[in-house]
Amino acid sequence: MLRSLWFCLLGGGLLLAGPVCAAETAEPHAPLFANLTNQTELSYVRTRGNSEVTTFSIKNKLGYQFSERLSGLWKFEALNGDSEGVRNAESYFTELRGDYQLGPRRFTYGSLSWFKDRFADIDLRLISGVGYGYRLIDSPPHLLVAEAGLTHTLEQTPDDDSSEIGARLYARYEYRISDDSLFSQDFEYLAELTDLNSHRVNTETALTTAINSFLALKTSYVMRYDSDPPRRKEDTDTILGVSLVVKF
Does the pLDDT at position 103 exceed 60? yes
- Nearest-CA neighbor of 239 among 58, 41, 79, 47? 47
What is the rounded distance in angstroms from the CA atom of residue 163 to the CA atom of residue 15?
21
Q: What's the pLDDT band for 32 if we cut at 50, 70, 90?
A: low
Query: What's the pLDDT band for 5 if we cut at 50, 70, 90?
Result: very low
CB-based contact 59:45 (threshold 8 Å): no
Neighbours of 40 (CB within 10 A): 16
Does residue 33 register a pLDDT over 50?
yes
3-state helix, strand, coil in the chain (%, to 5): 10, 70, 20
- Residue 77 reports pLDDT greater than 70: yes
Domains of the chain listed by start with CATH number:
2-21+35-247 (2.40.160.40)
Q: What is the CB neighbour count within 10 angstroms for residue 187?
A: 16
Q: Is residue 41 within 8 Å of 56, Cβ to Cβ?
A: no
pLDDT band at residue 51 using 50, 70 and 90 as cut-offs? low
Rg (CA), the chain: 19
For residue 118, the SS3 value is helix
Rounded to an integer, what distance in angstroms lies between the CA atom of residue 218 and that of residue 246? 10
**Given a cut of 60, is residue 23 above it in pLDDT?**
no
pLDDT tens-digit readout, 219-248: 999 999 999 888 778 999 998 888 999 998
The residue ranking higher by pLDDT, 34 or 45, is 34
* Paired strand residues for 144: 137, 173
pTM of the predicted structure, to 2 decimals: 0.83
Q: Using alpha carbons, list the distances in angstroms from residue 169 to 5, 126, 193, 200, 208.
A: 23, 17, 13, 11, 24
Q: What is the pLDDT of residues 166-215, one digit of tens each?
A: 999 999 999 999 999 999 999 999 999 998 889 999 999 999 999 999 99
Q: How far is CA 99 from CA 6, 20, 45, 111, in A?
A: 20, 12, 30, 9
Is 60 exceeded by the pLDDT of residue 141? yes
- Predicted confidence (pLDDT) per residue in 107-130, tens digit: 999 999 999 998 889 999 999 999
Strands (E), 177-235: 181-192, 195-210, 215-226
H or E element in which residue 102 lies: none
Q: What number is the average pLDDT over the span 137-160?
A: 95
Q: What average pLDDT does the chain have?
A: 87
- How does residue 85 score in pLDDT terms, banded at 50, 70 and 90? low
